[in-house]
Amino acid sequence: VANRTAARVGSLLAAAVACGFVAGGVQDRVRTFAHEADEPYVGFSRPDLTLTSGGDAWIAFLAYDGSAEAVLLAPADSPGAVEVVSAGVGTRFPPRVASLAGDELAIVWCERVEGQYDILLRVKDGADLGPIERVSAHAAPDASPALAATATGLWVVWVSARDGQYEVYARERVSGQSAEPAEWSAPFRVSEHPASDVEPSVAVRADGEAWVAWSSWRDGDYASGNYEIYARALTADAKPQRVSTDPGVDVGPSLVAAGSGLAVAWTGATFGSVAVEDLTATAYDAWRDKRFRVSWLGDDGWSAPLDVRRRYAGAKDVHVGDRCEAVSGPDGQLWVFYDEFVAGGVRGKGLREMRMVRVALGESGRPLDLARGHAGTAGALGVEAGGDRLWTAEGMPEDGETPPGIRVVVWSAEGLARITSPVASRVRRTRSEPADEGERATRSDLARGPDERHTVTRGGRATSAWFGNLHMHSTDSRDGIKDDGPPDRNLLAVLDVAALDFACLTDHSGPALRTLAWRAQVRLADLWNRPGRFVVFPGYEWSSPSYGHKNVIFPDAHAAAATSPLAALRTNPTDLWEHLGDVPAITIPHHTSHGSLAPTDWSFRSDERQRLVEIFQKRGNYEHDGARLQKDAIGGWEFFPGHGVRDALADGHRLGIIASPDHGGGLGLAGVWAEELTRESLYRGLHARQTFGTTGAKMSLWLDVEGRPQGSEVACDGPLTLSAEVRGTVAGLRLVLVQDGAEVQEIAVESDRAEHRFTAECATGGSYFYLRVEQADGHIGWTSPIWTMLR
Ligand SMILES: [Zn+2]
Ligand SMILES: [Zn+2]
């Protein structure tokens, strides 16, 4: 299998284009390894790059050959010589590569082994690629590996979910003498905080001491919580040190040895906010005012962070991106490679451009264009030992004119060395650690405590209210919306910042979600899905300019992989439902009556597929014309008559209710009643329409007719009793019962909890009933309807 895959991928890569051109006197050589065939299902991941002491450059990356991903290793200047590190049936994440002493190479990656995600490693010694070594073997997911060479071997760091939260772990591998096998130290836990510790990066100082930096979610509170960069030495008694200082988001550290010390570069941002009329919420997946920052570890601690890059002065449509990578050259100078986002183009879709900047100690560099005008994803960077030349490698996107591929560029360091005037002073600060770091519970813990979970028992069956986000976009959507973060960070924000129970990334189907990006998202959903803790569904958004927008939610990777978001780009909803065939999936229309966005065409109906509707999102409320909260923060919109949720219910659609944020999350929550926090149980609840939606408050709304919950279709033959059970988040609730579009009964309570029985008649022609709950603070919640029919 490996050989066949090697031959196949090798032939793809051998279709290489080498074009030598000089741009602006800085570009030495450009090599593009592109796939030329016109199969739409081939893609390449973001590559990693390493330089050996002898000056050879190697790249490692993931390539999708049409059936599975392979982990590949290749000399950066010899594309045909690809070696297969891991291939065949399986699920793999992009690898990292490092050169070791003695010109060995080590490749580390995350792969699903025997049903669990683990960290694997292979070492290449000369021509020999050694056996696969299992770095982690724990049943909990292990992911996000990074590695760094030592004088005698290497360190691997990774994220493990084994302690209930994400924690950073590390292991050292000492190479064996002559024919002796290598020795591994026992894995040890690096991070100590009970909240999420993610995105580790490892480096070995000139004196041989290994360090790790990572991003840690602290003080878990929606308003004041934040991600901070922490670092510590990989010695037994070392304590984590806080590197970043600002409130907000500090993520994605890239740690390197620089001079005799260390430097770390990362992405900083602040939380945005979303407002609909008078309701405002922290936009937890909209990280604003991004910048790349750098800090050095010197004799007196970490330096105050220095901005490497913010936006261009006077060019407000240019924004820095999400990832950066640092490498160090001679004399401790630092090179930072990062992406910038330039708005514009078709539908406002933006372009990602790579930039590189050199930062000397205490100085800030002016960014220099790498390859202006070409779109790419963040890649890797290497500096040759002498410091004269730099290598960069990046994944190329699959859409547009450019074929998918890996781009490797060699640069003359000389031409890039344009340092602006030094920063006036370098502020040093000594940081102190909060004393009770380990004691502090996170909001995630509190929100998930068993006492807080609202559970309702009917007919011997107990279901609980779970909260999630079923509509959000990442940078994969390429919408040109600068605030959409990378897929994994969005999921992290739903888990940490919003402290929700379940999520689905719904990036746009079509070119943005081709091949590897879609597979990567399905893989990511699988990796992040942790039964009992955080449930992640795979899905995408089908956006038709003629028939409206629908999200497609799949119960699992198997269902998702059986369809294609590309093939789903059909002309109308019937085509979409036919494409889904007998694959389990739910389609959920949104902004159904937005006057300036495509309203939902309700003449297409599928009671089996279209089980739910999104009644509220960041743009506002689609319940009915004139309902509260119908203006979004950017100036309001017209209700397109006849296309609201009540209009659809009046047309006979059997739609359950949810809400979710869409771009730049914050306002809009999906609620589902289910036995347990698993994909199976939640999907059953969604499919059964045992759902509710809220404007963002974690209020739970239950409604039943004689024990039959919201979403049910009930036969009746006399007066009906509808039982409501509500837990609000503030005192002062108004419960409104809606029957067939009319608000027929209401009660008000001063408490934050309400239990009430409404009575109604069993109408001859059938009726629908739903409950709307209005809180004193302005938040609204809606239950799914219950449909009744005269027996
Ligand atoms: Zn949409
Ligand atoms: Zn959307």
Tens-place pLDDT, residues 497-519:
888 999 999 998 876 676 678 88
Any residues with CB less than 8 A from the CB of 179 and at least 6 apart, and which?
Answer: none
Tell me, in angstroms, the distance from the centre of ligand 2 to residue 662's CA.
5
Using pLDDT thresholds of 50, 70 and 90, give the confidence band for residue 9.
Answer: very low
Tell me, in angstroms, the distance from the centre of ligand 2 to residue 480's CA.
13
Quote the pLDDT of residue 498: 85
Using pLDDT thresholds of 50, 70 and 90, give the confidence band for residue 353.
Answer: low
Check whether 310 has a pLDDT greater than 60: no
Tell me, in angstroms, the distance from the centre of ligand 2 to residue 411's CA.
40
Tell me the average pLDDT across 1-14: 39
Tell me, in angstroms, the distance from the centre of ligand 2 to residue 550's CA.
8
Q: Per DSSP, what are the bridge partners of residue 301?
A: 298
C-alpha to C-alpha distance for 762 and 122, rounded to whole angstroms = 69
Quote the pLDDT of residue 574: 94
Max mean pLDDT range (87-91, 295-299, 321-325, 702-706):
702-706
Q: Which of 130-144, 218-232, 342-356 has the lowest mean pLDDT?
A: 342-356
Tell me, in angstroms, the distance from the centre of ligand 1 to residue 401's CA.
26
Tell me, in angstroms, the distance from the centre of ligand 2 to residue 312's CA.
29
Tell me, in angstroms, the distance from the centre of ligand 2 to residue 514's CA.
17
Check whether 350 has a pLDDT greater than 80: no
Check whether 166 has a pLDDT greater than 60: yes
Tell me, in angstroms, the distance from the centre of ligand 1 to residue 549's CA.
5
Tell me, in angstroms, the distance from the centre of ligand 2 to residue 603's CA.
22
Q: What tens digit of pLDDT does each residue of 446-491 get? A: 333 345 789 999 989 999 999 999 999 987 776 655 567 788 888 9
In sign, the C-alpha dihedral spanning 79, 83, 88, 92 is negative
Tell me, in angstroms, the distance from the centre of ligand 1 to residue 348's CA.
15
Tell me, in angstroms, the distance from the centre of ligand 1 to residue 550's CA.
7
Q: What is the dihedral of CA 210, 213, 214, 215, to 10 degrees?
A: 170
Tell me, in angstroms, the distance from the centre of ligand 1 to residue 252's CA.
29
Quote the pLDDT of residue 414: 63
Quote the pLDDT of residue 585: 97
C-alpha to C-alpha distance for 189 and 443, rounded to whole angstroms = 23
What secondary structure, in 3-state letters, does 655-692 show?
CEEEECCCCCCCCCEEEEEECCCCHHHHHHHHHCCCEE
Tell me, in angstroms, the distance from the centre of ligand 2 to residue 156's CA.
38
Tell me, in angstroms, the distance from the centre of ligand 2 to residue 346's CA.
17
Pairwise pLDDT comparison (223 vs 690), residue with the higher score:
690
Q: Which of 210-214, 308-312, 365-369, 467-471 has the lowest mean pLDDT?
A: 308-312
Max mean pLDDT range (488-492, 529-533, 576-580):
576-580
Ligand nearest to the CA of 661: 2
DSSP state of 36: -
Ligand nearest to the CA of 590: 1
Check whether 230 has a pLDDT greater than 80: yes
Q: Which of 153, 154, 353, 147 is nearest to 255 (CA)?
A: 147
CA 6 to chain centre: 31
Ligand nearest to the CA of 507: 2
Run of H or E including 448: helix 443-448
Residue type, 139: A
Neighbour count for residue 354 (Cβ, 10 Å):
24
Ligand nearest to the CA of 548: 1
Quote the pLDDT of residue 691: 98
Tell me the average pLDDT across 668-682: 97
**In this prediction, what percent of the chain has a pLDDT beyond 70?**
78
**In this prediction, what percent of the chain has a pLDDT beyond 90?**
47
Residues within 5 Å of ion ligand 2, judged at the Cβ atom: 541, 662
Tell me the average pLDDT across 272-280: 83
Pairwise pLDDT comparison (438 vs 62), residue with the higher score:
62
Using pLDDT thresholds of 50, 70 and 90, give the confidence band for residue 349.
Answer: low
Tell me, in angstroms, the distance from the centre of ligand 2 to residue 684's CA.
23
Tokens (6 digits) for 566:
């590309």
Q: Which of 346-360, 517-531, 734-748 has the lowest mean pLDDT?
A: 346-360
Tell me, in angstroms, the distance from the centre of ligand 1 to residue 577's CA.
17
CA 372 to chain centre: 27
Tell me, in angstroms, the distance from the centre of ligand 1 to residue 707's CA.
35
Quote the pLDDT of residue 319: 65
What burial letters (b/e) apply to 224-237, b meaning 16+ CB within 10 Å?
ebbbbbbbbbbeee
Q: Which of 37-46, 234-243, 587-596, 761-770 has the lowest mean pLDDT?
A: 37-46
Query: Distances from the Cα of 551 to the Cαs of 473, 495, 508, 643, in angstroms?
Result: 11, 21, 9, 17
Tell me, in angstroms, the distance from the centre of ligand 2 to residue 248's CA.
25
Tell me, in angstroms, the distance from the centre of ligand 2 to residue 471's CA.
6
Quote the pLDDT of residue 441: 32
Tell me the average pLDDT across 215-242: 81
Tell me, in angstroms, the distance from the centre of ligand 1 to residue 388's CA.
48
Specify the 3-state DSSP secondary structure of 188: strand
Tell me, in angstroms, the distance from the centre of ligand 2 to residue 553's CA.
13
Q: What is the dihedral of CA 604, 609, 610, 611, to 10 degrees?
A: 150
Q: Per DSSP, what are the bridge partners of residue 700?
A: 727
Any residues with CB less than 8 A from the CB of 647 and at least 6 apart, and which?
Answer: 593, 602, 624
Pairwise pLDDT comparison (64 vs 652), residue with the higher score:
652
CA angle 109, 114, 115 (to 5 degrees): 90
Ligand nearest to the CA of 664: 2
Check whether 128 has a pLDDT greater than 60: yes
Tell me, in angstroms, the distance from the centre of ligand 2 to residue 563's CA.
19
Check whether 694 has a pLDDT greater than 80: yes
Q: What tens digit of pLDDT does each residue of 610-629 get? A: 999 999 999 999 999 999 99
Run of H or E including 753: strand 753-760
Tell me, in angstroms, the distance from the centre of ligand 1 to residue 478's CA.
13
Tell me, in angstroms, the distance from the centre of ligand 1 to residue 592's CA.
10
Tell me, in angstroms, the distance from the centre of ligand 2 to residue 392's CA.
34
Tell me, in angstroms, the distance from the centre of ligand 1 to residue 562's CA.
23
Ligand nearest to the CA of 547: 1
Using pLDDT thresholds of 50, 70 and 90, give the confidence band for residue 81.
Answer: confident
Pairwise pLDDT comparison (643 vs 220), residue with the higher score:
643
Tell me, in angstroms, the distance from the centre of ligand 1 to residue 664's CA.
13
Tell me, in angstroms, the distance from the centre of ligand 1 to residue 590's CA.
6
Mean pLDDT, the chain, as a whole number? 81
Ligand nearest to the CA of 591: 1
Tell me, in angstroms, the distance from the centre of ligand 1 to residue 349's CA.
15
Using pLDDT thresholds of 50, 70 and 90, give the confidence band for residue 671.
Answer: very high
